[in-house]
Amino acid sequence: MVIDEFKIFIENIENVTIVSSTQLPSNEFRESYLELNQFAPEPTLVATLTYDVINIILDAVSSAKNLSRSALSSTLHQLVTDDGYFNNVSILEYQYVDGELMIVDHVIE
Domain that holds residue 28: 3-108
> In a structure prediction context, what are the per-residue pLDDT tens digits for the chain, which is 109 residues long?
456 666 777 777 877 888 888 888 999 999 999 999 999 998 988 888 888 888 888 888 887 777 788 877 887 778 877 777 777 777 888 888 887 888 887 665 5
Q: Give the Cα separation of 6 and 101 in Å (integer).
A: 11
Q: How many domains does the chain have?
A: 1
- Give whole-number Cα distances, 84 to 64, 80, 93, in Å: 20, 5, 20
- pTM, two decimals, is 0.67
